[in-house]
Structure 1
Amino acid sequence: MEPVVVVRYSEIGLKGKNRGYFEKKLIDNIRKIARPPEISKRYGRIIIRLKNMSFLEIKERLKYVFGIQNFSYAYAVSHDIDEIKEAVKKLLSLNIKGKKTFKVQTKRSFKEFPMTSNELSAYIGAYVLEEFDNLNVDVHNPDITVGIEIKEKEAFIFVGKERLYGGLPVGVSGKAILLLSGGIDSPVAGWYMLKRGLKLETLSFLSPPFTSEKSVKKILDLADVLSKYTPDTLRTHIVPFTEVQQYIKSNVPDRYSLIIQRRSMIRIANKLSKKRKASAIITGENIAQVASQTLSNLRTIEDVSDIPILRPLIGFEKLDIIEKAKEIETYGISILPYIDSCVAFAPKNPATKSSIGELKEIEQKLDKLFELEEKVFNKMESYTLGRES
């Protein structure tokens, strides 16, 4: 009887000829993030042999691996019926507290096993009733389900399944640049794009001396949380944006200053994307949440980008974003009172409507804008975060 973890995936199983690539990437990511003693793909499952590692330790690590639908603590046993019974009894003894009903569900892919799936389920069910007086059968809505999978060379016995986030393994969908502010939304946006298999680098804009070293630490702490979901390191870039903002503040009508700032940020993000071979930009923008995020202004801002801008939170309720931020443990960092560049130079009455033509006309009169964007880009500081740093 060997303790193992049976790992299952759903969306990857729907892939066609490239399914093997996704499976290999998921196994590689589990190796790097969860660091199991032994892992292999067998019988359409990923099997982790625990050896001397505790289940609680591997369970805590697996929650950071995207691509896993659910997993079970299990025993790998031989086809011997007495060994199967022993594993069932041991697992139920560990999980029976507060449970009143059960069912047994068997999948027999190895057809040479002497019992059918239904026969084995009935046999083990009768055994459980004998061993546990407080349990009754309920095949429709049981408190606990005993799972038995009969494979060619061994059987896996487990109780229940622990659900994870699903999604795709990080790295299978390419690379994108996340515009990471110190707010609540952008870390959550990055989390959702990691879940869709994107590898991330982050880009932040600060305004020294109006923003302090505490703002830098805040950005790095947020990026560090996201790095836990990546199999490798996460590169974080911080641009000192003050000169650009001061120039815009002095030369642009106040109501348009924030939109021009955002267009500058997107141009700089495009520079970084080209340098770092990223194919998209991610933002935490949410339709009509603030003045710069009206449909009109979003269109005006994205006009300067040569690559797609992904907005995973565009239709979310703010409360849903907050709940997710709390769940992934970025909320407590995001609400720290250390401002980012947008707050430092926010206009009093920002425009809620703008046109591309009007903004281009304003920028044509800003002789030094593009030069300053290049200057601050060259002053960018980069950090490496994550498990290999």
Structure 2
Amino acid sequence: MHPPGADTVLVRHGDLNTKSNTVKRYMEGLLAENLEAILADRSVPGEVERRWSRPLVHTTEDAVEDATAAAADTFGVVSASPCLTTSTEKDRILEVLAETARARYDGGSFAVDARRADKSLPYDSDDLAREGGAAIWEAVADEFEPEVDLDDPDLTFGVEVREDVAFVYLEKRAGPGGLPLGAQEPVIAMVSGGIDSPVAAYEAMKRGSPIVPVYVDLGPFGGIDHEARAMETVRVLSGYAPNFDMEVYRVPGGETISVLVEEMEEGRMLSMRRFFYRAAEVLAERVDAHGIVTGEAVGQKSSQTVQNLGVTSRATRLPIHRPLLTRDKADIVEQAREIGTFTESTIDAGCNRVAPDRAETNARLEPLLAAEPDDLFERAEEAARNAKLVEP
């Protein structure tokens, strides 16, 4: 909901404010570029103004809700508000609050959240909140009995006064937070078509790292549908990063997985992951990526016990980033729904058909090395060299 006549989106960021001025200026530039890209990708009219600490999107009232939604999907944005801009004169702000109340406030409790950045103005935040509340009350008192609730109001009238302009708004739409995409180095993101890996990739993107998606073709243990689901989750993720290349590296792994199934019982799931990680390391060298992101969480599967994670991690010299390490499955599922990857991730994972009857939960590296094929890493390196780029 927005004030009548609103044609601007007020964008707020968080972690950027902890940086030095030089770094902050650089990251705000990235944020503006990414926001412009999302607006363009969604065909939303809007011009981004790169103001210090508060980027703005200038649009039209008809498009202000869509522009706000685009801003709220941009990494680095903490919140976004569709707002009406006005002068910093207190009387004019009070008029806008009254006009907004008459148009949008039709019952329940309300509060005024006023913030003043320019300390030279002849009023402070408390003055604005108190007098703004009175203006709202008077504007609607003939229609119904208004109620003030400063703790949990049904409707909050927000006012933010900067040096040369004031913003009036009715909502703060939460964004993902984090850092602007591109603020960190790229990472390999292992995508499997399951629920967890797209959420982990999203979390890496949220901290500023562009992802290089990698899908390992499991051959008869995966299938066309399984791959299609993985590709669709990457398509969803690409919507959050339209100005970044999101082509997927498809790594041929079916032959090696078949060998693992034929030759190994206990530990084959761990050797399969070791195969994945070594292939990812070779690809990382090829694309100048600096880590591997997976959707693993402690104890979620037998291969993901703390002991087993330690064993599989030793397959690569690169750091393996596990953003979901301590997350509960229900939380991961909820986030998958929120970011739009859940529906396309609900097919049974192909690796479930690789799992042996008796799972290894407490592996040791030496016995695993003795049991797995001697040429496992050579196979992984060759598979990485034969990886093909495919459009998601």
TM-score (norm. length: structure 1): 0.89
> Counterpart amino acid of 1:191?
Y
> Structure 2: 5+ residue runs without aligned partners?
none
Match in the other structure for 1:55:
64
1:90-109 alignment, distance < 5 Å: 90-103=99-112, 105-107=114-116, 109=118
Among 243, 259, 267, the residue aligned to 1:247: 259
SS in 1 for 2:232: helix
1:283 and 1:315 map into 2 onto residues whose CA distance is: 13
- Is contact 1:99-1:135 (8 Å) kept? yes
Residue in structure 1 matched with residue 8 of structure 2 by the alignment: 4
For 2:156, which of 134, 145, 158 is the aligned residue? 145
Structure-1 separation of matches of 2:291 and 2:231: 21
- Structure 1 counterpart of 2:190, one-letter code: L
Q: Does 1:130 align with 2:142?
A: no
What is residue 262 of structure 1 aligned with on the other side? 273
Q: Report the equivalent of 1:280.
A: 291
Contact 2:108 2:147 in 1 (8 A): no
Deviations 1:162-214 (A, max 9, x none): 22221111121211111111211111111222111111111112222443322
1:76 maps to 2:76: no
Structure 2 match to 1:372: 379
| SS at 2:77 equivalent | coil
Name 2:198's counterpart in structure 1: 187
The match for 1:213 among 216, 221, 224 is 224
Would you say 1:66 and 2:75 are equivalent positions?
yes
Contact 1:106 1:148 in 2 (8 A): yes
Residue by residue over 1:248-279, the C-alpha shift from the partner in whole angstroms, topping out at 9 and shown as x without a partner, is 2333x311222211111110010111111111
Q: Which residue of 2 aligns with 1:381?
A: 388
For 1:5 and 1:229, locate their aligned partners in 2 and report how far apart those are by CA, in whole Å: 18
Q: CA deviation at 1:37?
A: 2.0
1:44 maps onto 2:53 in alignment: yes
Question: Hey, what's the Cα distance between the residues in 2 that align with 1:258 and 1:114?
Answer: 68
- Conserved 8 A contact 2:212-2:248: yes
Q: Which amino acid aligns with 2:255?
A: E
Query: What CA deviation, in whole Å up to 9, does each residue of 1:304-328 have, x standing for no partner?
Result: 1111001111111122112222222
The root-mean-square deviation of aligned C-alpha atoms, in Å, is: 2.4
Aligned with residue 355 of structure 1, among 364, 372, 376: 364
Contact 1:103/1:125 (8 A) holds in 2 = yes
In the alignment, the residues of structure 1 paired with residue 52 and residue 387 of structure 2 have an alpha-carbon distance, to the nearest angstrom, of 49
1:155 shift after superposition: 2.2
Partner-residue secondary structure (3-state), 1:234: coil
Q: Tell me the equivalent position of 2:39.
A: 34
The Cα shift of 1:98 comes to: 4.1
| Equivalent in 158, 181, 184 of residue 170 of structure 1 | 181
Do 1:110 and 1:151's aligned partners in 2 also have CA atoms closer than 8 Å?
no
Letter in 2 for 1:301: T
| CA gap 1:237/1:94 in 2 versus in 1, 3 angstroms | farther
The offset of 1:79, in angstroms, is: 4.0
Is 1:31–1:39's contact at 8 Å kept on the other side of the alignment?
Answer: yes
- Please state if 1:155 is matched with 2:147: no
Residues 116 and 286 of structure 1: CA distance in aligned 2, closer, same or farther (over 3 Å): closer
The superposition leaves residues 37-74 of structure 1 with CA deviations (integer Å, 9 ceiling, x where unpaired) of 21113353111111465122112322321111112111
Which residue type is aligned with residue 81 of structure 2? S
Alpha-carbon distance change, 197 to 93 in structure 1, aligned in 2, over 3 angstroms: farther
- Residue 82 of structure 1 and its aligned partner are, at CA, apart by 5.5
Are 2:193 and 2:231, in contact at CA under 8 Å, matched by a contact in 1?
no
Amino acid aligned to 1:267: R
Indicate how the Cα distance of structure 1 residues 381 and 344 shifts in structure 2: closer, same or farther if over 3 A, else same. farther
The Cα shift of 1:336 comes to: 2.6
Q: Secondary structure at the match of 1:70?
A: strand
What amino acid does structure 1 have at the position aligned with 2:298? I
Deviation of 1:139 (Å): 4.0
Percent of aligned positions with the same letter in both sequences? Answer: 28
Aligned residue runs from structure 1 range 281-320, under 5 A: 281-320=292-331
- Whether contact under 8 Å (1:2, 1:77) holds in the other structure is no
Deviation at 1:298, TM superposition (A): 1.0
Q: 1:234 aligns with which of 243, 246, 249?
A: 246
**TM (normalized to structure 2)?**
0.88
- SS of 2:11's equivalent in the other structure is strand
